[in-house]
Structure 1
């Protein structure tokens, strides 16, 4: 069955959608969409480091994304505004990664595959990594769900309950690093933030509880993955951007019909 590249692509898209759904909810609730984008941009620097030192690609991407998230967290504690930090770090990481790749004289690398994804070229090994990483992300979110939710909705209540909001933010940073590493093959660095934010934002008008929002985001993300791949196949368009466009159409649809459904 897995010999069919479209089936592998669909499974890869579903794996990323299910992994990104609960994390995307926290990204929306915390208004940190650009944090996800900055973490994703660091992946290019991770690619450059992996090629420079002959390291495995996946751990290098995770490490670069983690360093990005931790750096933003540290500097935010020194009085810098979050949007300023994210603007500086996101563009610096992307630019530094592209410069570093260009300096690798013995390596010829097509950065477009990392920037926009290449889901149609997913191998069985990639598929295993995507679903294993997705399972780790979902497990991490399930384990920290209550503490993360409390720290997100009311940091003061979290402290009174013995929950450290900064520690929960570090767990969230780790999950973001994992989802970047998982999703880079599917939608690429430039579109990862969209896949995190759009399904969760689309789910918001349809639900009443945080848990139902996570499940709805997973369903909408999976629908966008399959619908985007179908559109790319029929229209001969790039698969990664097509998935994001499908997610945007779902966002528009739920924004229009969501309020009416919730009034019933």
Structure 2
């Protein structure tokens, strides 16, 4: 398609695709207070990049595998005498450090480390678009399929058990979805900003929604506006695209928080 020859069109489609994948998952991250969990999974992806380049495999597969391993390790160890926040802090920073060290040992490989840390949405090609939208659609289908069970286990684990739902299985579903989102988002916003794109649109939508379903829809809209608006602002002011997208999302969150404060003061 001639339309996809434009790098700005490809970048816009990539941003919207990531926003659609991150929005519903971000709502569960906010509801379950898993923000640091998402951060740890994202940081581990740098090690996945290094391993993928070492074994000459697609970056997406390396990042996905490492994100899944990290999520599985955290889920396994969190109930065995380790404080979750301490465990996540150790794993998040150590995996990022090991990833950066591993990258430094790669010889004969041209690697733009900043692109993986902060994203390089303008360099998205047609193959990247296929991966991003394939991952986004997979995440949306998975969450729609498990929506009722995920929501019940999020609200109350005892209620979930009474309804015949295994909360640990639903946690595994979220873990899988989070790994896919990290793998597809690394090209757009980078490792250090993935958690922000997960959390900020969902947190912004919270003050405008009265049902979980509406919150996910509003979060998707906020994420898409952040991606498209941030892309335009970065192009206009010649600023880094990934951070600009997150900055716009943060401004929208500040606006929603101000609106909530005003509403409370009036009432």
How big is the shift at 1:214? 0.2
Provide structure 1 residue ranges, at least 5 long, that are not aligned to the other structure: none
- Indicate yes or no: 2:63 matched with 1:61: yes
How big is the shift at 1:148? 0.7
- Alpha-carbon distance in structure 2 between the residues aligned to 1:54 and 1:225: 31
Report the counterpart of residue 5 of structure 2 in structure 1.
3
Give the CA RMSD over aligned residues: 1.4
Moved more, 51-60 or 7-16: 51-60
- Alpha-carbon distance in structure 2 between the residues aligned to 1:209 and 1:68: 32
Structure 2 residue corresponding to 1:17, chosen from 16, 19, 31: 19
Provide structure 2 residue ranges, at least 5 long, that are not aligned to the other structure: none
Report the counterpart of residue 129 of structure 2 in structure 1.
127
Which digits, 9 at most, give the CA deviation of each residue in 1:139-163, with x for residues without a partner? 1110111111111110111011111
User: Secondary structure in 2 aligned to 1:163?
Assistant: coil
The question of whether the paired residues in 2 share the 8 Å contact of 1:206 and 1:259 is answered with: no
How big is the shift at 1:259? 6.0
Report the counterpart of residue 105 of structure 1 in structure 2.
107
Report the counterpart of residue 48 of structure 2 in structure 1.
46
- Alpha-carbon distance in structure 1 between the residues aligned to 2:27 and 2:85: 20
- Alpha-carbon distance in structure 1 between the residues aligned to 2:228 and 2:112: 26
- Alpha-carbon distance in structure 2 between the residues aligned to 1:190 and 1:41: 7
- Alpha-carbon distance in structure 2 between the residues aligned to 1:122 and 1:57: 13
Q: How does 1:1-264 map to 2 (within 5 A)?
A: 1-258=3-260
- Alpha-carbon distance in structure 2 between the residues aligned to 1:258 and 1:234: 31
- Alpha-carbon distance in structure 2 between the residues aligned to 1:15 and 1:261: 33
User: Secondary structure in 1 aligned to 2:258?
Assistant: helix
How big is the shift at 1:32? 0.8
The question of whether the paired residues in 2 share the 8 Å contact of 1:205 and 1:259 is answered with: no
The question of whether the paired residues in 2 share the 8 Å contact of 1:40 and 1:189 is answered with: yes
The question of whether the paired residues in 2 share the 8 Å contact of 1:28 and 1:197 is answered with: yes
Which digits, 9 at most, give the CA deviation of each residue in 1:119-153, with x for residues without a partner? 01111111111111100010111011111111111
The question of whether the paired residues in 2 share the 8 Å contact of 1:14 and 1:221 is answered with: yes
How big is the shift at 1:254? 1.1
Which digits, 9 at most, give the CA deviation of each residue in 1:157-181, with x for residues without a partner? 1011111111111110100000001
How big is the shift at 1:2? 1.3
- Alpha-carbon distance in structure 2 between the residues aligned to 1:149 and 1:34: 20
User: Secondary structure in 1 aligned to 2:146?
Assistant: helix
The number of equivalent residue pairs is 264
For normalisation by structure 1, the TM-score amounts to 0.97
